[in-house]
Structure 1
């Protein structure tokens, strides 16, 4: 169901005979909306109440609410098994909220009185913890400590006043190892009461997550602690992660939360930015500094801002190289420099079509598009305007374009670089290497009559000794550099 179909009070009523704690009666429970789309939905613009610029949830949506006569803003979350497309070609069976993992983003305003109904459709009990919120102890959502657990079929109501603005999360604090490993999480954004405070033109939010899903399988291994093979933003992996579409001249904020089991150094190309908010609150201007990479700790939120003054397609990704890959195999051997011709000949007699790989690196594998097991993703995939992007996992593109309308978040396609602004191939004669192995200076390159989009560097280097037999090394006189 798309959000435009249920903004307001429409949607399927998911509460049946569930119990409700506290003063609220079952008849007063609002209807629950659901979402099946895996693409980024348009922001939910408020039709009444305080003014604010709504967030855009990457590959997600914002949960609708209703206002009561006595001033409570009411939401309805449903904890339930969900099916999430990680990227085209792979689906995971997870646990989440309202049809998705992560669940929908909750948006409200500082000072709002919120009442959040949580219905449990899981096969075990659950709770919801409101990560970073200042609220009464009994609303904190820690099962057994601050509340009884929400049993299957029950509905509980959480009621509190939003005492501070900022970027927060929600997730279970009951059987966390299973439930968070299965994808139960969501973003919670509280806008400032003053519409002019920290206002930006475009405001994106996402959560990091990691899963261990064997090729051909659908359910994550919940006991995995470190060896994950699927790294996601909002339970999507590149090329399934949508771009962040921005108009040139916009002030842009990106809010990111980390509910995986390791930190993520988030790097954005083309810009410097400043961290302006954490889950603890807003960062004073005097305490900020320019960055191009920000570390995102486990269990934390970070929001950074930049002025979009440079058009282009700018990569944004985790800088841990294995976090920008999909379906990695941890037992893959390294064959760089190994001559596999004889292996290929012998194995090929038994397995027609056998192709040894890895002797010169892994880049060739990204373009082969070889068959893979059912329900898994190639390790490096995704096509760009110049060929294979050779990325996966936690990777997307900030697409800055001139002339975009205020509410336009449609993918504008690939950036058309102005002539003369793309790296190009250098045509140079073969040159001899010096005694120290350095390549001599090449003749100046010419661009005349050449398409810069089709050019790459082509420089001849001296022969290396990779693969040299051990006895060759023993026979080589000390100091001989001619081989």
Structure 2
């Protein structure tokens, strides 16, 4: 089991989570019924072709502290099966039968890819290992200023990592902030197949908040993933019509799963810092219920205090990164965080679903309503 619990970052531990849910919550978990609906994204199961090929199933993204690894990390390419929301609750199941995942060192493959974290001034060596790959790839890092040959764009650098090859990029951590990385070979398809992730450079003297979380939004046209899995589906980027909307690769209610999803678990009085990244191709106006936040960074640039103001919705363009901060000063409860394009908060024809997660106060984890949400998400104590 992963530790800590919640979205990638610094949440509560699994032991704290289990203690907070209490025996009453566990009892309700065993007995409540989750809503089901026939309006799932796919009209028929998409699992058979992928399962017959024995693909690994993706895991949630992990934070990889490159400083603790001597300044180096290896990213492998791995075709995988991706469970967006595997249950029949709330418009599920929602599944992507084929993705192309990044796998850091000996960890599990994940979509989004691992959160690569380092410190300002600590240069990295990132090795793209495509020795077992079936198609060419590269890696492009946003934000930092690097040598021409390390830009990761094959058409301008002449460097492509073909199947059976490895290539090491030198990435200087010279621009602090939250950035993104992705494959830049046939970008229009490879990002849409899952080859994207967060790159975080902590400034020197970085002061963490009480709780810190990373969240990547993504819109998907599942026809591409089904076509790549060998199913009877036809896709063109010119006629892209997204039908799956995710936070850290999951759709609600799976987003609320404490280990497979990305709830923001807080305690009253906490200062909370959230790094929002848009890994998709559409704008997503993100809204938090019952809390006012300030945007403190944009694309790694620090926003002066004189230019900050309280807000409750923030629009992210494709590849844009916003870091927000707020105080968990509401009455303890469960409050939604979601895209405010309402059709992005759906699983097929079922509402709510999609690009929706929530702020969960630790103080209410022993309530019946929290236990019911855990049942929808598929969490078992």
TM-score, length basis structure 1: 0.57
Q: Please say if residues 73 and 127 of structure 2, whose CA atoms lie closer than 8 Å, have aligned partners that are also in contact.
A: yes
Q: Please say if residues 66 and 118 of structure 2, whose CA atoms lie closer than 8 Å, have aligned partners that are also in contact.
A: no
The residue aligned with 2:101 is: 96
For 2:251 and 2:126, the matched residues in 1 are separated by 30
- CA deviation digits over 1:129-161, x for unaligned, max 9? 001222222211111212410001211111132
For 2:297 and 2:148, the matched residues in 1 are separated by 24
Q: Please say if residues 166 and 192 of structure 1, whose CA atoms lie closer than 8 Å, have aligned partners that are also in contact.
A: yes
Counting strand residues as a fraction of each chain, which structure ranks higher?
2
The residue aligned with 2:181 is: 170
- 1:267 to 1:3, Cα distance in 2 relative to 1, 3 A: closer
Q: Please say if residues 346 and 353 of structure 2, whose CA atoms lie closer than 8 Å, have aligned partners that are also in contact.
A: yes
SS, match of residue 164 in structure 2:
coil
Compute the displacement of 1:66 (Å). Answer: 6.9
For 1:216 and 1:128, the matched residues in 2 are separated by 21
Compute the displacement of 1:101 (Å). Answer: 1.3
For 1:114 and 1:277, the matched residues in 2 are separated by 23
Compute the displacement of 1:124 (Å). Answer: 1.4
For 1:185 and 1:413, the matched residues in 2 are separated by 36
Residue in structure 1 matching 2:213, options 188, 204, 209: 204
Give the gaps of 5 or more residues in structure 2.
12-58, 87-92, 104-108, 256-260, 371-381
Q: Which has the larger radius of gyration?
A: 1
Is structure 2 residue 126 aligned with structure 1 residue 116? yes
Question: For residues 408-447 of structure 1, what are the structure 2 equivalents within 5 Å?
Answer: 412=365, 414=367
The residue aligned with 1:232 is: 246
SS, match of residue 144 in structure 1:
helix
For 1:257 and 1:110, the matched residues in 2 are separated by 20
Question: For residues 186-197 of structure 1, what are the structure 2 equivalents within 5 Å?
Answer: 186-196=197-207
Counting helix residues as a fraction of each chain, which structure ranks higher?
2
* Count of matched residue pairs: 297
Question: For residues 350-429 of structure 1, what are the structure 2 equivalents within 5 Å?
Answer: 379-380=349-350, 390-402=351-363, 412=365, 414=367
Q: Please say if residues 43 and 61 of structure 1, whose CA atoms lie closer than 8 Å, have aligned partners that are also in contact.
A: no
SS, match of residue 238 in structure 1:
coil
What is the CA RMSD across the aligned residues, in angstroms?
2.9
Question: For residues 212-223 of structure 1, what are the structure 2 equivalents within 5 Å?
Answer: 212-213=221-222, 217=226, 219=229, 223=236
- 1:42 to 1:164, Cα distance in 2 relative to 1, 3 A: closer
- CA deviation digits over 1:319-357, x for unaligned, max 9? 001000112xxxxxxxxxxxxxxxxxxxxxxxxxxxxxx
Compute the displacement of 1:102 (Å). Answer: 1.1
The residue aligned with 1:330 is: none
Is structure 2 residue 51 aligned with structure 1 residue 61? no
For 1:139 and 1:3, the matched residues in 2 are separated by 33
For 2:138 and 2:224, the matched residues in 1 are separated by 31
For 2:292 and 2:68, the matched residues in 1 are separated by 40
Compute the displacement of 1:177 (Å). Answer: 1.4
- CA deviation digits over 1:84-125, x for unaligned, max 9? 110123432111101111111101111112111111243211
Give the gaps of 5 or more residues in structure 1.
5-37, 45-57, 328-378, 381-389, 403-410, 418-483
- CA deviation digits over 1:224-269, x for unaligned, max 9? 4542111111221111113211111111111111121210110100
